[in-house]
Amino acid sequence: MKKLIFICFVVFNALNANASKVITNEFTGKESGIKHPVTVILPTSYNEDKQYNVIYVLHGHSGDNTNWTEKTNIERLADTFNVIIVTPNGGYDSWYIDSKIKQNSLYETYIAKDVVSYIDQNYSTYANRFSRAITGLSMGGFGALHIAINNQHVFAAVGAMSAGVDFRPFPNKFGIDKILGNYNEFANEWSDIAIINNLDKINVSQNKDPKSDHKVEVNQLSIRIDIGLSDFFLSINRQLHYAMLAKNIPHEYVEQEGGHTWKYWDTAIVGQFKFLTSTFPQ
Protein backbone atom coordinates (compact mmCIF):
# COMPACT_ATOMS: atom_id res chain seq x y z
CA MET A 1 0.00 0.00 0.00
CA LYS A 2 2.85 2.38 0.91
CA LYS A 3 4.51 1.60 -2.42
CA LEU A 4 1.29 2.44 -4.30
CA ILE A 5 0.96 5.75 -2.43
CA PHE A 6 4.60 6.59 -3.22
CA ILE A 7 4.11 5.83 -6.93
CA CYS A 8 0.99 8.00 -7.07
CA PHE A 9 2.87 10.81 -5.33
CA VAL A 10 5.73 10.62 -7.83
CA VAL A 11 3.38 10.56 -10.83
CA PHE A 12 1.36 13.50 -9.47
CA ASN A 13 4.47 15.60 -8.92
CA ALA A 14 5.87 14.70 -12.33
CA LEU A 15 2.65 15.85 -13.98
CA ASN A 16 2.53 18.97 -11.83
CA ALA A 17 6.14 19.83 -12.72
CA ASN A 18 5.20 19.87 -16.39
CA ALA A 19 2.06 21.96 -15.96
CA SER A 20 1.50 25.53 -17.03
CA LYS A 21 1.89 28.16 -14.31
CA VAL A 22 -1.05 30.33 -13.20
CA ILE A 23 -0.19 33.69 -11.60
CA THR A 24 -2.57 36.34 -10.29
CA ASN A 25 -1.38 39.83 -9.36
CA GLU A 26 -3.15 43.10 -8.70
CA PHE A 27 -2.11 46.41 -10.25
CA THR A 28 -3.50 49.89 -10.88
CA GLY A 29 -3.74 51.08 -14.47
CA LYS A 30 -1.81 54.28 -15.17
CA GLU A 31 -4.21 55.46 -17.86
CA SER A 32 -7.57 54.31 -16.43
CA GLY A 33 -6.89 54.37 -12.71
CA ILE A 34 -8.64 51.00 -12.44
CA LYS A 35 -7.26 48.62 -9.81
CA HIS A 36 -7.96 44.96 -10.46
CA PRO A 37 -6.26 41.57 -10.32
CA VAL A 38 -5.14 40.01 -13.58
CA THR A 39 -4.49 36.30 -14.11
CA VAL A 40 -1.62 35.15 -16.32
CA ILE A 41 -1.07 31.60 -17.54
CA LEU A 42 2.50 30.81 -18.57
CA PRO A 43 3.38 27.78 -20.70
CA THR A 44 5.63 25.13 -19.20
CA SER A 45 8.32 26.21 -21.66
CA TYR A 46 8.32 29.79 -20.35
CA ASN A 47 11.84 31.18 -20.28
CA GLU A 48 12.86 34.81 -19.82
CA ASP A 49 15.44 34.34 -22.57
CA LYS A 50 12.66 33.69 -25.10
CA GLN A 51 9.70 35.77 -26.26
CA TYR A 52 6.08 34.67 -26.47
CA ASN A 53 2.89 35.57 -28.28
CA VAL A 54 0.04 36.65 -26.02
CA ILE A 55 -3.70 35.94 -26.15
CA TYR A 56 -6.01 38.06 -23.99
CA VAL A 57 -9.23 36.26 -23.00
CA LEU A 58 -12.12 38.32 -21.62
CA HIS A 59 -14.85 37.09 -19.26
CA GLY A 60 -18.57 37.72 -19.54
CA HIS A 61 -21.18 39.74 -17.65
CA SER A 62 -20.95 39.34 -13.84
CA GLY A 63 -17.64 37.49 -14.16
CA ASP A 64 -14.04 38.22 -13.21
CA ASN A 65 -10.46 37.24 -14.01
CA THR A 66 -10.83 33.82 -12.35
CA ASN A 67 -13.71 32.54 -14.49
CA TRP A 68 -11.66 31.02 -17.27
CA THR A 69 -9.27 29.11 -15.01
CA GLU A 70 -12.02 27.95 -12.64
CA LYS A 71 -14.69 26.96 -15.16
CA THR A 72 -12.65 25.64 -18.13
CA ASN A 73 -9.44 23.81 -18.94
CA ILE A 74 -7.86 26.86 -20.56
CA GLU A 75 -4.50 26.29 -18.81
CA ARG A 76 -3.75 23.39 -21.14
CA LEU A 77 -3.88 25.71 -24.14
CA ALA A 78 -0.85 27.66 -22.93
CA ASP A 79 1.21 24.52 -23.52
CA THR A 80 -0.66 23.30 -26.59
CA PHE A 81 -0.04 26.58 -28.42
CA ASN A 82 3.03 27.78 -26.48
CA VAL A 83 1.52 31.17 -25.67
CA ILE A 84 1.02 33.41 -22.67
CA ILE A 85 -2.68 33.66 -21.78
CA VAL A 86 -4.01 36.71 -19.94
CA THR A 87 -7.45 36.79 -18.31
CA PRO A 88 -8.10 40.32 -16.99
CA ASN A 89 -10.87 41.49 -14.70
CA GLY A 90 -13.26 43.55 -16.81
CA GLY A 91 -15.68 44.45 -14.04
CA TYR A 92 -19.16 43.12 -13.32
CA ASP A 93 -20.98 44.86 -16.18
CA SER A 94 -18.53 47.29 -17.82
CA TRP A 95 -18.99 45.85 -21.31
CA TYR A 96 -15.35 46.87 -21.80
CA ILE A 97 -16.44 50.38 -22.77
CA ASP A 98 -15.05 53.78 -21.80
CA SER A 99 -18.31 55.04 -20.33
CA LYS A 100 -19.26 58.69 -20.70
CA ILE A 101 -21.78 58.53 -17.86
CA LYS A 102 -20.29 56.13 -15.28
CA GLN A 103 -17.35 57.65 -13.48
CA ASN A 104 -14.04 55.76 -13.60
CA SER A 105 -15.46 53.05 -15.87
CA LEU A 106 -12.77 53.22 -18.56
CA TYR A 107 -12.47 49.58 -19.44
CA GLU A 108 -11.47 49.89 -23.09
CA THR A 109 -8.53 52.01 -21.95
CA TYR A 110 -7.80 49.62 -19.10
CA ILE A 111 -7.53 46.57 -21.36
CA ALA A 112 -5.97 48.09 -24.48
CA LYS A 113 -3.44 50.28 -22.69
CA ASP A 114 -2.98 49.38 -19.04
CA VAL A 115 -3.21 45.59 -19.11
CA VAL A 116 -1.19 45.27 -22.33
CA SER A 117 1.52 47.57 -20.95
CA TYR A 118 1.61 45.67 -17.66
CA ILE A 119 2.03 42.33 -19.43
CA ASP A 120 4.74 43.59 -21.78
CA GLN A 121 6.66 45.13 -18.87
CA ASN A 122 6.48 42.10 -16.60
CA TYR A 123 6.69 39.13 -18.97
CA SER A 124 8.82 38.13 -21.93
CA THR A 125 6.53 38.96 -24.84
CA TYR A 126 6.77 39.95 -28.46
CA ALA A 127 5.62 43.50 -27.77
CA ASN A 128 3.91 44.24 -31.07
CA ARG A 129 0.40 44.01 -32.51
CA PHE A 130 1.21 41.07 -34.76
CA SER A 131 1.93 38.90 -31.73
CA ARG A 132 -1.15 39.90 -29.73
CA ALA A 133 -4.69 38.59 -30.06
CA ILE A 134 -7.83 39.11 -28.02
CA THR A 135 -10.99 37.06 -27.60
CA GLY A 136 -13.81 36.66 -25.10
CA LEU A 137 -17.25 35.29 -24.35
CA SER A 138 -20.61 37.10 -24.25
CA MET A 139 -19.88 40.56 -22.80
CA GLY A 140 -16.23 39.72 -23.36
CA GLY A 141 -16.94 38.77 -26.97
CA PHE A 142 -18.35 42.23 -27.56
CA GLY A 143 -15.44 43.68 -25.61
CA ALA A 144 -12.85 41.86 -27.70
CA LEU A 145 -14.37 43.09 -30.97
CA HIS A 146 -14.93 46.62 -29.66
CA ILE A 147 -11.39 46.92 -28.30
CA ALA A 148 -9.66 45.35 -31.31
CA ILE A 149 -11.56 47.40 -33.88
CA ASN A 150 -10.75 50.63 -32.05
CA ASN A 151 -7.15 49.66 -31.22
CA GLN A 152 -5.81 47.98 -34.32
CA HIS A 153 -2.35 49.36 -33.53
CA VAL A 154 -2.43 47.08 -30.46
CA PHE A 155 -4.11 43.88 -31.73
CA ALA A 156 -3.85 42.19 -35.13
CA ALA A 157 -6.33 39.37 -34.46
CA VAL A 158 -9.62 39.11 -32.61
CA GLY A 159 -12.13 36.42 -31.75
CA ALA A 160 -15.60 36.42 -30.20
CA MET A 161 -17.70 33.65 -28.69
CA SER A 162 -21.43 34.07 -28.04
CA ALA A 163 -20.92 37.81 -28.31
CA GLY A 164 -23.50 40.46 -27.48
CA VAL A 165 -22.56 42.40 -30.59
CA ASP A 166 -25.61 44.69 -30.61
CA PHE A 167 -27.28 45.95 -27.43
CA ARG A 168 -30.40 47.43 -29.00
CA PRO A 169 -32.58 44.29 -28.78
CA PHE A 170 -31.83 44.15 -25.02
CA PRO A 171 -32.58 47.65 -23.67
CA ASN A 172 -33.41 46.49 -20.14
CA LYS A 173 -30.85 43.75 -19.61
CA PHE A 174 -27.24 43.19 -18.58
CA GLY A 175 -26.72 46.61 -16.98
CA ILE A 176 -26.00 48.27 -20.31
CA ASP A 177 -28.03 51.36 -19.39
CA LYS A 178 -25.59 52.06 -16.54
CA ILE A 179 -22.77 52.34 -19.07
CA LEU A 180 -24.50 53.99 -22.04
CA GLY A 181 -27.55 55.61 -20.46
CA ASN A 182 -31.23 54.81 -20.82
CA TYR A 183 -32.00 53.51 -24.32
CA ASN A 184 -34.93 55.89 -24.86
CA GLU A 185 -32.73 58.91 -24.07
CA PHE A 186 -29.45 57.74 -25.60
CA ALA A 187 -30.58 55.71 -28.61
CA ASN A 188 -27.83 57.19 -30.79
CA GLU A 189 -25.13 56.05 -28.39
CA TRP A 190 -26.59 52.53 -28.34
CA SER A 191 -26.61 52.50 -32.14
CA ASP A 192 -23.15 53.99 -32.53
CA ILE A 193 -21.46 51.37 -30.37
CA ALA A 194 -23.02 48.32 -32.06
CA ILE A 195 -20.28 46.33 -33.80
CA ILE A 196 -22.32 46.27 -37.02
CA ASN A 197 -22.05 50.07 -37.15
CA ASN A 198 -18.28 50.10 -36.70
CA LEU A 199 -17.25 47.84 -39.57
CA ASP A 200 -15.93 50.71 -41.68
CA LYS A 201 -13.13 51.12 -39.13
CA ILE A 202 -11.65 47.78 -40.19
CA ASN A 203 -9.16 49.13 -42.69
CA VAL A 204 -5.66 50.54 -42.83
CA SER A 205 -6.79 54.17 -42.59
CA GLN A 206 -8.03 53.59 -39.03
CA ASN A 207 -4.80 52.06 -37.77
CA LYS A 208 -3.26 55.10 -36.12
CA ASP A 209 -1.33 55.20 -32.88
CA PRO A 210 -3.02 57.96 -30.85
CA LYS A 211 0.33 58.84 -29.24
CA SER A 212 1.97 59.65 -32.56
CA ASP A 213 1.23 61.69 -35.67
CA HIS A 214 1.81 58.91 -38.16
CA LYS A 215 -0.22 55.92 -39.26
CA VAL A 216 0.94 52.46 -38.40
CA GLU A 217 1.26 50.38 -41.54
CA VAL A 218 -0.59 47.17 -40.74
CA ASN A 219 -2.57 44.45 -42.38
CA GLN A 220 -6.30 44.06 -41.96
CA LEU A 221 -7.65 42.75 -38.66
CA SER A 222 -8.04 38.95 -38.58
CA ILE A 223 -11.45 38.02 -37.18
CA ARG A 224 -13.19 34.84 -35.97
CA ILE A 225 -16.75 34.78 -34.61
CA ASP A 226 -18.48 31.67 -33.28
CA ILE A 227 -21.93 31.19 -31.77
CA GLY A 228 -24.03 28.29 -30.49
CA LEU A 229 -27.18 27.36 -32.35
CA SER A 230 -29.16 27.56 -29.10
CA ASP A 231 -27.69 30.91 -28.04
CA PHE A 232 -30.01 33.89 -27.50
CA PHE A 233 -27.41 36.08 -29.27
CA LEU A 234 -27.57 33.96 -32.46
CA SER A 235 -29.65 36.37 -34.56
CA ILE A 236 -27.49 39.44 -33.90
CA ASN A 237 -24.36 37.44 -34.72
CA ARG A 238 -25.90 36.32 -38.01
CA GLN A 239 -26.78 39.91 -38.83
CA LEU A 240 -23.19 40.95 -38.16
CA HIS A 241 -21.89 38.10 -40.32
CA TYR A 242 -24.12 39.11 -43.25
CA ALA A 243 -23.06 42.76 -42.88
CA MET A 244 -19.40 41.75 -42.98
CA LEU A 245 -20.00 39.70 -46.11
CA ALA A 246 -21.72 42.67 -47.74
CA LYS A 247 -18.71 44.85 -46.98
CA ASN A 248 -16.26 42.15 -48.14
CA ILE A 249 -14.59 42.01 -44.74
CA PRO A 250 -12.62 38.75 -44.46
CA HIS A 251 -13.58 36.78 -41.37
CA GLU A 252 -14.25 33.27 -40.09
CA TYR A 253 -17.80 32.69 -38.90
CA VAL A 254 -18.92 29.47 -37.20
CA GLU A 255 -22.30 28.30 -35.96
CA GLN A 256 -22.19 25.09 -33.98
CA GLU A 257 -24.16 23.07 -31.44
CA GLY A 258 -24.45 24.62 -28.01
CA GLY A 259 -25.89 27.43 -25.97
CA HIS A 260 -24.77 30.30 -23.77
CA THR A 261 -22.95 27.96 -21.40
CA TRP A 262 -19.52 27.16 -20.02
CA LYS A 263 -19.73 23.74 -21.67
CA TYR A 264 -19.89 25.51 -25.02
CA TRP A 265 -17.09 27.96 -24.22
CA ASP A 266 -14.74 25.28 -22.91
CA THR A 267 -14.95 23.68 -26.36
CA ALA A 268 -15.17 26.87 -28.43
CA ILE A 269 -12.00 28.36 -26.94
CA VAL A 270 -9.95 25.64 -28.64
CA GLY A 271 -11.16 26.72 -32.07
CA GLN A 272 -10.48 30.32 -31.12
CA PHE A 273 -6.89 29.53 -30.19
CA LYS A 274 -6.31 27.54 -33.38
CA PHE A 275 -7.44 30.51 -35.45
CA LEU A 276 -5.71 33.24 -33.43
CA THR A 277 -2.35 31.46 -33.21
CA SER A 278 -2.44 30.81 -36.97
CA THR A 279 -2.19 34.60 -37.46
CA PHE A 280 1.02 34.97 -35.44
CA PRO A 281 4.21 35.46 -37.50
CA GLN A 282 6.33 33.24 -35.24
pLDDT digits 0-9 by tens, 80-134: 999 999 999 999 999 999 999 998 999 999 999 999 999 999 999 999 999 999 9
Give a three-class secondary structure readout of 127-160.
CCHHHEEEEEECHHHHHHHHHHHHCCCCCCEEEE
Is residue 15 in some structural domain?
A: no
Is residue 229 in some structural domain?
A: yes
Is the pLDDT at 135 greater than 50? The verdict is yes
Confidence at residue 209, expressed as pLDDT on a 0 to 100 scale: 52
Is residue 2 in some structural domain?
A: no
Is residue 10 in some structural domain?
A: no
Which residue, among 140, 147, 158, 149, has the nearest Cα to 233 in the 3D structure?
140
Is residue 50 in some structural domain?
A: yes
- 227: domain range? 22-278
Q: How confident is the model at residue 15 (pLDDT cuts 50, 70, 90)?
A: very low
Q: What is the pLDDT of residues 245-277, one digit of tens each?
A: 999 999 999 999 999 999 999 999 999 999 999
The rounded distance, in Å, linking the Cα atoms of 183 and 191 is: 10
Mean residue pLDDT across the chain: 90
What CATH number did the domain enclosing 170 receive?
3.40.50.1820
Confidence at residue 103, expressed as pLDDT on a 0 to 100 scale: 87
* Proportion of the chain above pLDDT 90, given as a percent: 84
Tell me which amino acid residue 110 is.
Answer: Y
Range in 16-30, 82-96, 172-186 with the lowest mean pLDDT: 16-30
Is residue 13 in some structural domain?
A: no
Give the CA angle between residues 124, 269, 150 to the nearest 5°. 65
**pTM of this prediction?**
0.90
What are the DSSP E strand ranges found in the chain?
A: 21-28, 35-42, 54-58, 84-88, 132-136, 157-161, 222-228, 252-256
Q: How confident is the model at residue 213 (pLDDT cuts 50, 70, 90)?
A: very low
Is residue 16 in some structural domain?
A: no
Confidence at residue 282, expressed as pLDDT on a 0 to 100 scale: 81
First CA to last CA across the chain, in angstroms? 49
When pLDDT is averaged across residues 206-212 and rounded to a whole number, the result is 49
Query: What domain count does the chain have?
Result: 1
Is residue 5 in some structural domain?
A: no
